[in-house]
């Protein structure tokens, strides 16, 4: 249930006079919303005030929306490191106890160039969120579901294939988190990979954009059985 669907759900739950509904909708449309006093808060409180929407109905709508959009809180993480390191790396490590935070104790030559370690395999974690690319709004408003038909753009950037053996990409949708486990040679040779993200930086790091038209190309790399340890091992073998 995306935000437009939420609004329809609220309106359909209203059982008061139609003229009251139209009056509230006009007031809400003319109002200037600001977080956390947004149009949905205004709409719900106004409809409850008219008596056409009960508090119990509101709780049911709220419960349904939260259960269908469990990842919305991730779109509220504003700090890049909070999202990439605080969330994504922790999420990936939670999939396998053998995944260790990279360190000089594990790899004497480690210099911060990758994130995780699995029995000698160097792993870089990158993450991105699927958001509507056609509107300007906060990320949590633009957040899209896995089966969206809207235009979106996910940018996996600062990719350094020469520094790791395997990439684990975390793609966050409002209702699902998708992991792609890809060996570095596949990334370097992929037609969507751009070498040299910044000027004078060719050969050092690059980026890859995923959108609604090319996302299906990555289905073969998607973690589907939750055995990320084996997926990483299999991906690393392709670099041998």
Which residue's entry shows tokens 């969330």? 87
The mean pLDDT of 140-162, rounded to a whole number, is 91
**How is domain 72-237 classified at the CATH fold level?**
Trna Endonuclease; Chain: A, domain 1 (3.40.1350)
Q: Is the pLDDT of residue 200 over 50?
A: no
Tokens read off for 64 = 């349904």
The mean pLDDT of 26-48, rounded to a whole number, is 81
Q: Is the peptide bond before 36 cis (omega within 30 degrees of 0)?
A: yes
Model confidence at 36, pLDDT cuts 50, 70, 90, reads low
Q: Is the pLDDT of residue 132 over 90?
A: yes
Model confidence at 123, pLDDT cuts 50, 70, 90, reads very high
How far apart are alpha carbons 100 and 97 in whole angstroms?
8
Those residues with Cβ within 8 angstroms of residue 74's Cβ, 6 or more apart along the chain or in another chain: 83, 87, 129, 172
Q: Is the pLDDT of residue 168 over 90?
A: yes
The mean pLDDT of 59-78, rounded to a whole number, is 89
Model confidence at 196, pLDDT cuts 50, 70, 90, reads low
51 versus 28: the higher-pLDDT residue is 51
H or E segment and range at residue 159: strand 153-159
Predicted pLDDT of residue 41: 85
Cβ 200 vs Cβ 157: under 8 Å: no
The mean pLDDT of 149-170, rounded to a whole number, is 93
In the chain, where the domains are located: 3-68, 72-237
Cβ 52 vs Cβ 21: under 8 Å: yes
Which residue's entry shows tokens 């409002």? 174
Predicted pLDDT of residue 80: 79
Q: Is the pLDDT of residue 15 over 70?
A: yes
Q: Is the pLDDT of residue 158 over 50?
A: yes
How far apart are alpha carbons 45 and 36 in whole angstroms?
13
State the angle between helix axes of 39-50 and 55-68 in degrees (0 to 180), rounded to the nearest 10: 150
Predicted pLDDT of residue 239: 65
Q: Is the pLDDT of residue 199 over 50?
A: no
Model confidence at 1, pLDDT cuts 50, 70, 90, reads low
Predicted pLDDT of residue 240: 56
């Amino acid at each position: 249930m995306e935000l437009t669907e939420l609004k329809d759900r609220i309106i359909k739950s209203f059982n008061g006079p139609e003229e009251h509904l139209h009056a509230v909708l006009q007031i809400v449309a003319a109002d200037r919303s600001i977080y956390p006093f947004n149009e949905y808060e205004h709409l719900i409180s106004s409809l409850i005030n008219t008596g056409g929407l009960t508090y119990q109905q509101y709780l049911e709508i709220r419960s349904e929306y939260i259960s269908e959009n469990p990842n919305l809180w991730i779109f509220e993480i504003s700090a890049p490191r909070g999202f990439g390191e605080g969330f994504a790396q922790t999420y990936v490590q939670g999939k396998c106890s053998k995944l260790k935070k990279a360190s000089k104790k594990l790899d004497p030559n480690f210099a911060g160039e990758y994130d995780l370690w699995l029995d000698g395999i160097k792993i870089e974690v990158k993450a991105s969120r699927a958001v509507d690319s056609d509107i300007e709004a906060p990320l949590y408003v633009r957040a899209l579901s896995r089966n969206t038909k809207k235009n979106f753009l996910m940018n996996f950037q600062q990719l350094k294939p020469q520094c790791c053996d395997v990439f684990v990409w975390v793609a966050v949708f409002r209702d699902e988190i998708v992991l792609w486990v890809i060996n570095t040679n596949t990334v370097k040779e992929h037609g969507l990979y751009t070498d040299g993200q910044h000027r004078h930086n060719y050969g050092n790091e690059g980026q890859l954009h995923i959108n609604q038209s090319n996302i299906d190309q990555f289905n073969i790399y998607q973690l589907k059985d939750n055995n990320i340890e084996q997926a990483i091992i299999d991906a690393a073998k392709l670099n041998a």
